[in-house]
Amino acid sequence: MSTNVGIAGLGVVAQGLLELVRSNADQLNVIAGKNLSVKRLASRRLRDGVDLSEIVFSTDLDDLLNDDELDLVIELIGGTDAAYDLIKATLERGRGVITANKAVLATHGNELLDIAREHDVPLAFEAAVAGGIPIIAALKTRFPANDINWLTGIINGTCIYILTAMAHDGVAFEDALQNAQELGYAEADPTFDVGGMDAAQKLAILVALAFDVPIEIDSVYCEGIQDITIEDIQHADELGYSIKHLAIGRQEEDLVEMRVHPALVPKDNLLAKVNDVENAVQLGTANTGVLRFTGPGAGGHATASSVIADLTNIASGLYRHPGIGGGSIRVRSIGDVSSAFFLNIAAADRPGVIASIGETLARHSISIASMIQKKEEVIRSVDNEIIPVVILTNTVVERELDQALEELESLADIAAPIKKIRVVDLT
Amino acid sequence: MSTNVGIAGLGVVAQGLLELVRSNADQLNVIAGKNLSVKRLASRRLRDGVDLSEIVFSTDLDDLLNDDELDLVIELIGGTDAAYDLIKATLERGRGVITANKAVLATHGNELLDIAREHDVPLAFEAAVAGGIPIIAALKTRFPANDINWLTGIINGTCIYILTAMAHDGVAFEDALQNAQELGYAEADPTFDVGGMDAAQKLAILVALAFDVPIEIDSVYCEGIQDITIEDIQHADELGYSIKHLAIGRQEEDLVEMRVHPALVPKDNLLAKVNDVENAVQLGTANTGVLRFTGPGAGGHATASSVIADLTNIASGLYRHPGIGGGSIRVRSIGDVSSAFFLNIAAADRPGVIASIGETLARHSISIASMIQKKEEVIRSVDNEIIPVVILTNTVVERELDQALEELESLADIAAPIKKIRVVDLT
């Protein structure tokens, strides 16, 4: 018996996949229980130095659809339009698909999984989230959906690289970003990563798996790291926290929380130790406590290894459809989420300013857990000297905090906007 | 369709299993794709307060064998003799087995897995190692065996609890052990745990899965934590290390290393952060870098969750036989293993002693990475004052080090035995 495979795309992951499949052929065949054979590859263009011997190459994705010898297609072209068309048409022809494409899943995943179930063919995507970490398998096969209370993750390599560089080397956001681009850790247009959309797409997939709900990318609250400064990182450090870009999902009663934003993480938490381009996912469960997974979030071989895990599982009959889409989703809006908050208030260095900040917060039932007033960090000096007042609040509903901040920003002695970063307690 | 289950044992894990199966029945049935039903339970004695309604209880394990309605048996009695007989007979009758019993697998696993393969019935054991961490599934389905270079783990809860208490609270080994016993983290006879045998059994299973070799418990080098002192922990701390009880497996060319012993771990490594009763496993892979898993190592519900994962996977046809036993094993003896070493040499405080230590080590090509000489820590004062000389060596083959230590121990100015703790670099 054999499983004939077609590959779409010839980027880093596809190249890694070809290398690994060739160098591990015998062992993979044993695991799969049959002969795994890459028959065909379609990509817009050839690449020098890639060995395509015994593989039919073409530049037309339709050739993958029209080759009746193929049992499944591995989609590694990325993006949403062409990938969506290819995956849909492949599934509709009764063939399985493996994809590493979080974007197409985040935008069309519910429909594609319905088609896969309807035709009873696999649609597998271990490689789509957190590269080499086997988190999709864990969520699919390990936990009844009602067992998971929350998940937190560091799942965007660009953000973690930039925040690590800012924290360790004291370089500003723009310089860290440029450095990341030069090293290939950030795209030429980094907006998608540093703005949080990449993490949001991955979170929508993880949440759907964790809580057996549909994928709803539009309901993910999304903030990037563009406004994080070295001063924020230093102030957080003084208070005992690191700043990381987190993806957070939580289910409470019937409400699902999905949010991606910078957050203060206690320094002794595992997430605070995740640096450079490592990824991490933590699961807070009812029955198994907190489980933590870390590993490489990207890289051709790491991601290709996840594709291969899908491939051998499908070939040996170990595929199971995910619970995604089985339920409905009611999303808790960010205004209704409770957190502690880190605030940086630029205030005039005048008697009574601190008192009026405290009074305004108190009127909204917000208490102050810690405060740092930095006399030495004078920001500007027109009329008055302006100093940063750094506050860590106790837990408060965000809408209530926002009302308090609005009032504070209207005061003559306080400059708008007040910097606000959430503190994560799901650890 | 339904899967009828029999349970052997009524301890903490069995009770947790009964609770979870009852409270999650609907969802588990959906995941399994059939009705999961606990029909029968056999245990030496009943326990008060355990709800056994709709379950046939008996005190005779043979009743599980003779009930032809059962599709599989979950073995939770522990130990090796009765568990071995029950598992073997169940498999031979063509029924699957789930076990949480590392001891029976470590001693009879190869034979039992052969019988399971022969009768083509499942023998699943996610719960046997590292409680709630899905490490068995990851090793079985995620990595081709040639992808894993090494694994390191903290997989004995008693050892980690005691070492944490010694490090954090400054209590001596005996007091920490007594405290662990009072809290139920250590057995009345703690030898099996603190002597390392529990971790050795688990390691033999992990190594067999990771490298597709037979389970060979007798080849695991095993040291416990009985000789670790607070002074060792403090000296290690000064050098930038924590002391943990580690299980280490490594494959190099055709040689497999299996060892369980206390070890110095760099403080910034994840393993150094694992405390109390958490477990951790790290996998060093060729293609996916280093993957780290942490979670609860024990506990009724956590371990029962692993049993349930096996149960739903088997019921829905997702079981795969492990590669264990497929190859042969050639073990590297501990004398041939290379490590850096932490040494604590009790030496007379006399001129020339340090020089003769350095000279002896140098003659064996052992260089000194760090040295602390603690004038203030005088140990005793008969004839001479004895001071501890703490040395961190560079990497050296253990047999060579042992020869050097033997020479040093024969010197008049040095007290035997010299304390030696390995430093782990597989992180």
**Per-residue model confidence (pLDDT) at position B380:** 58
Partner residue facing A291 (CB), from B273, B285, B295: B295
**Per-residue model confidence (pLDDT) at position B381:** 54
pLDDT digits (tens, 9 = 90+) for B122-137: 999 999 999 899 999 9
Mutate one of B305, B314, B316 to test the A interface: name it (highest A CB count within 10 A).
B305
Question: Does A291 contact chain B (CB < 8 Å)?
Answer: yes
Q: How many residues does chain B have?
A: 427
Which is it for the CA torsion B18, B24, B26, B27, positive or negative? negative
Distance CA A275, CA A165 (A): 9
Distance CA B179, CA A50 (A): 61
Whose structure tokens read 């659809």?
Answer: A65
Give the residue-averaged pLDDT of B15-40: 91
Does the pLDDT value for residue B193 go beyond 70?
A: yes
Question: Does A308 contact chain B (CB < 8 Å)?
Answer: yes
**Per-residue model confidence (pLDDT) at position A123:** 98
Burial class (CB in 10 A: 0-12, 13-18, 19+), A244: buried
Cβ-contact A59, A84 below 8 angstroms: no
**Facing residues of A262 across strands?**
A245
Query: How many angstroms separate the CA of residue A290 from the nearest CA in chain B?
Result: 6
Question: Does B251 contact chain A (CB < 8 Å)?
Answer: no
Give the residue-averaged pLDDT of B93-104: 97
**Per-residue model confidence (pLDDT) at position A94:** 97
**Per-residue model confidence (pLDDT) at position A384:** 67
The ipTM estimated for the assembled molecules is 0.91
Please report residues of B whose CB lies closer than 8 A to that of A308.
144
- Residue of B45 and A199 predicted with greater confidence: A199
User: A300-315 and A12-23 helices cross at what angle (nearest 10)?
Assistant: 60
Query: How many angstroms separate the CA of residue A309 from the nearest CA in chain B?
Result: 5
- Are the Cβ atoms of A144 and B31 closer than 8 angstroms? yes
Partner residue facing B288 (CB), from A138, A302, A320: A302
Whose structure tokens read 């395509």?
Answer: A52
Please report residues of A whose CB lies closer than 8 A to that of B142.
134, 137, 305, 309
Mutate one of B271, B287, B318 to test the A interface: name it (highest A CB count within 10 A).
B287
Burial class (CB in 10 A: 0-12, 13-18, 19+), B89: middle
Q: Where residue B185 falls among pLDDT bands split at 50, 70, 90? A: confident
**Per-residue model confidence (pLDDT) at position A145:** 64
pTM: 0.94
Partner residue facing A31 (CB), from B144, B268, B287: B144
- Are the Cβ atoms of B308 and A144 closer than 8 angstroms? yes
Query: How many angstroms separate the CA of residue A281 from the nearest CA in chain B?
Result: 10
**Per-residue model confidence (pLDDT) at position A33:** 86
Mean pLDDT of chain B: 93
Question: Does B290 contact chain A (CB < 8 Å)?
Answer: yes
Please report residues of B whose CB lies closer than 8 A to that of A302.
287-289
Locate the DSSP E strands across A105-210. 123-124, 148-154
Please report residues of A whose CB lies closer than 8 A to that of B302.
287-289
Tokens for B210? 């990771």
**Per-residue model confidence (pLDDT) at position A111:** 96
- Are the Cβ atoms of A291 and B141 closer than 8 angstroms? no
Cβ-contact B148, B251 below 8 angstroms: yes
Task: Catalogue the active-site residues of A.
Answer: 202
Catalytic residue of the set B39, B102, B140, B202: B202
Provide the residue-wise pLDDT of chain A in tens; the chain has 427 residues. 899 999 999 999 999 999 999 998 888 888 888 999 999 999 998 888 899 999 999 999 999 999 999 999 999 999 999 999 999 999 999 999 999 999 999 999 999 999 999 999 999 999 999 989 999 999 988 877 678 999 999 999 999 999 999 999 999 999 999 999 998 888 889 999 999 999 999 999 999 999 989 999 999 999 999 999 999 999 999 999 999 999 999 999 889 999 999 999 999 888 998 888 799 999 999 999 999 999 998 888 999 999 999 999 999 998 999 988 767 789 999 999 999 999 999 999 888 899 999 999 999 999 999 999 877 666 655 556 888 999 999 999 999 999 999 999 999 899 989 999 999 987 7
Question: Does B268 contact chain A (CB < 8 Å)?
Answer: yes
In A, minimum Cα distance to B145 occurs at A27
Please name each of the domains of chain B with its CATH number. Answer: 2-128 (3.40.50.720), 140-296 (3.30.360.10), 336-423 (3.30.70.260)
Chains A & B: contacts with CB separation below 8 Å: 131
- Helix, strand, coil share of chain B (percent; to 5): 40, 25, 35
- Are the Cβ atoms of A137 and B138 closer than 8 angstroms? yes
- Are the Cβ atoms of A288 and B132 closer than 8 angstroms? yes
**Facing residues of A347 across strands?**
A387, A414
Question: Does B187 contact chain A (CB < 8 Å)?
Answer: no
Is B244 marked active-site? no
Q: What are phi and psi of B275, to 5 degrees?
A: -135, 175
In A, minimum Cα distance to B285 occurs at A302
- Residue of B125 and B317 predicted with greater confidence: B125
Partner residue facing B287 (CB), from A142, A301, A316: A301
In B, minimum Cα distance to A293 occurs at B293
Question: Judged by CB atoms within 8 Å, which residues 88-147 of A form the interface with B?
Answer: 132-134, 137-138, 141-147
Question: Judged by CB atoms within 8 Å, which residues 27-46 of A form the interface with B?
Answer: 27-28, 30-31
**DSSP for residue A2:** E
Mutate one of A13, A17, A142, A164 to test the B interface: name it (highest B CB count within 10 A).
A142
- Are the Cβ atoms of B134 and A144 closer than 8 angstroms? no
